[in-house]
Amino acid sequence: HTNVNTLSLEVVLIYRGVFLNQKKHPCAIGTVHEYIVVIIIQMKLPDEMSDLEEFDHVFGMVNGKKVRGRKRHQMIDNIKINVHFLDSCYEGVRPITIAVAQNCEAKTDEVTENKRDPSIDRTIEIPVETSIRYLKSEAYKTTYGNNPVWTQYRRNHKGAFPPKKTRKTCIRGGAISTGSPCPICRDEYLVLDHQNVDLLKQFVSPHTGAVLQPIKTGLCQMRQKQLLVALERAKDYGYITFDVPFRVSCAEGLAFLCPEEKVTLITASPLIKAVTNIVHLTKTLCQFDIQEVDTGKFVDSHPTISVVHNAVTSVDTVQHTVTTATGKVVKYNKLCLCTGANPKLIADRNQFVLGIRDTESVEEFQGRIKNARRIVVVGNGGIATEIVHEVEGLEIIWAIKDKHISATFVDPGAAEFFQTKLLKNEEKKMQETTVKRLKFTVGATEQQKGTTRGAALGPDWHASFNIQGNQTASKVTVEYETEVKDITTSDDESWPVYVHLTNGKVYGCDFIVSATGVMPNTLPFQDKLQLADDGGIKVDWKMATSAEDVFAAGDACSTTWQRAEHWFQMRLWTQARQMGMYAAKSMAASLASEDVIQDFCFELFSHVTRFFGYKVVLLGLYNGQTLNGNYELLLRVTKGHEYVKLVMKDGKMQGAVLIGETDLEEMCENLILNQLDLSIYGEDLLNPDIDIEDYFD
């Protein structure tokens, strides 16, 4: 301020309540704008100001430039300022308010908002109560009928296929700014709110319970975020309690493909492992939860399926009958064996050796670990990795036969990426895990214990159980390139059991966890069907066995057909689900005497899981399988955030390991399947400054 007649103002507009400039001024700025703008205004004040018009007349400069005549008035009409002079700064000067157009993007021409086309005007907020009544009105039924609001919508896009990402927003400056607005922006009476349940349910899949992706509904990115927030609030308030349907891949597939046929499911467990919350990430890659379903509830939702709770003792492939442990004989036209696999224990019938495979074994593990001080984990696969990461409050000795951890799934580079999490050198962020599955406590009878096993554990199995020790400190010691030589017990009070390793070390512990793989559960069928060298039932490309009308799927089978270049068998829940659905398709085709085409999922190995809190995606020959070392690697590593490895041969992508939220799985899948020559891109294929994903989508 030079004198009382000259005023210099710096107008700082606030965005979300945060000042962009902390400099103090002798004036209070009362208007909050939607956009971030800083304007320097210089004003000359007369000695006596009678009214606001006189103040407007002498206003002469904006940002140091002279503004005169009509242009001056246009500038004032398009600047939104509320100024209040403080008495302590300007004695004798009354408060002044300049209240003009509220829109920072208001046009400077003579077109006012009153002349805006009402069909594109979105400045008026429709109450949610009005929107709820609208969805029940005749006008809504005339427009949309009984279909979701997004059914009639068609996106405008270049090329034959729509891009994965939709536009950021359809509304700019309070008006629709595109010729093809998304379904919500197009109709102003569709309000995304947690109370508007009928509208929200239209964006949730009735089959999986997952939120439909924008590539299907066409929602812009802004509306998609509003949808997700509204759905979460609706669940919190209890407005939406969506019961996800249960999926037993083979049985439900048959019930769907052959609705006129009766399907019988024979299971030794009172609970059925069902797939739920399916989310498709790419054409071949999907993530899901495994839920334990009571047989009664499962039958209620599938009227053509009946459940026999018993164990199978024999199969007569000539008479087409199955005999259970109680002597019940079930006749069949087509039979599918989905008996899974049993854990390979390092020592059978040892009370100190526990194998983790099903819910019953995890509950036993949960009971033992409460009072444990030290355990020894043997194995280097998925379950061993999850145990070492999730268990806290005790000491863990991890004995592996490989040179690096998690060798079943990742290479030494990825193992090094996990190292800080493993050794717990970083402060572990405790996150509350939302488990979207029901929990049951199953007590096995004395006859069942040790003889009958339930289905294998699914993804995130540890989230359903409290697997913490009672010690305050946690420690992990990894013993590389070693195996268990002997297990001995002792009468002293130090440790109940001792583990002797081949490297000469001996560890005392409370018990041993054996996570050394599985063996196909084919004992009742060994004399009826042809078995592979690994003990699995041999199946052809139709999932058919050596016996007529008998099929097999999942961990119990071994594939013998000529495999695709980038697919191989690994006994995982992902492949078990794929095989079960494909076996149902083959059985239905056989019943109808029709031909069947092999499923696309067998073109590319794909698996998604979580290790050490990171999302892990494995595609194709991710560790160079079958390439005999004749390949090169492209790596991109950001410590603590992501690990990207691409397996390349002759300039073509053969496999990929994606750890973290990389958002590259779809691009890598396409490049592996298409076998495009990427030699010209070289290392730029993983250049973070190049949005390579959009280029190859």
Of 240, 357, 255, 277, the C-alpha closest to 584 is 255
Measure Cα distances from 394 to 385, 470, 577 in Å: 16, 7, 35
The greatest distance separating any two alpha carbons of the chain, rounded to the nearest whole angstrom, comes to: 112
Q: What is the pLDDT of residue 378?
A: 92
Cβ–Cβ < 8 Å for 621, 627? yes
In tens, the pLDDT along 485-496 reads 999 988 777 899
Distance CA 467, CA 656 (A): 32
Q: Which residues of the chain have pLDDT under 50?
A: 1-4, 14-38, 40, 42, 44-113, 244-246, 425-452, 454, 457-459, 461-467
Looking up tokens 């927030």 gives 229
What's 165's DSSP letter? S
Count of alpha carbons within 13 angstroms of residue 205, beta-carbon side? 16
SS (H, E, C) 39-80: EEEEEECCCCCCCHHHHHHHCCEECCEECCHHHHHHHHHCCC
With a CB cutoff of 8 Å and minimum separation 6, the contacts of 423 are 476
**Burial label, 146 (beta-carbon count in 10 A; 0-12, 13-18, 19+):** exposed
**Burial label, 16 (beta-carbon count in 10 A; 0-12, 13-18, 19+):** exposed
Q: At what angle do helices 412-423 and 382-390 cross, to 10 degrees?
A: 30
**Burial label, 625 (beta-carbon count in 10 A; 0-12, 13-18, 19+):** middle
Strands 286-294 and 305-309: unpaired
Sign of CA dihedral 256, 261, 266, 271: positive
CATH topology of domain 345-516: FAD/NAD(P)-binding domain (3.50.50)
Helix (H) or strand (E) holding 143: helix 138-144
CATH topology of domain 249-342+520-603: FAD/NAD(P)-binding domain (3.50.50)
Map out the domains of the chain as residue ranges: 6-113, 128-237, 249-342+520-603, 345-516, 613-696
Q: What are phi and psi of 241, to 5 degrees?
A: -125, 75
Distance CA 333, CA 336 (A): 10
Helix (H) or strand (E) holding 338: none
Cβ–Cβ < 8 Å for 617, 658? yes
With a CB cutoff of 8 Å and minimum separation 6, the contacts of 494 are 508
Distance CA 187, CA 100 (A): 30
Q: What is the pLDDT of residue 389?
A: 82
With a CB cutoff of 8 Å and minimum separation 6, the contacts of 203 are 148, 150, 211, 212, 217, 219, 227, 231
Distance CA 398, CA 246 (A): 36
Q: What is the pLDDT of residue 559?
A: 94
Of 632, 539, 628, 655, the C-alpha closest to 587 is 539
Looking up tokens 């006189």 gives 54
Cβ–Cβ < 8 Å for 7, 67? no
Of 471, 293, 463, the C-alpha closest to 374 is 471
Q: What is the pLDDT of residue 67?
A: 43
Of 95, 214, 209, the C-alpha closest to 150 is 214
- Neighbouring-strand partners of residue 27: 85
Strands 321-324 and 329-331: antiparallel
For the domain spanning 613-696, the CATH number is: 3.30.390.30
Q: What are phi and psi of 646, to 5 degrees?
A: -115, 130
- Neighbouring-strand partners of residue 330: 322
The 10 Å CB-count burial string (b at 16+, else e) for 20-43 is: eeeeeeebebebeeeeeeeeebeb
Same fold, 249-342+520-603 and 613-696: no
What's the pTM value of the predicted model, to 2 decimals? 0.60
Q: What is the pLDDT of residue 64?
A: 43
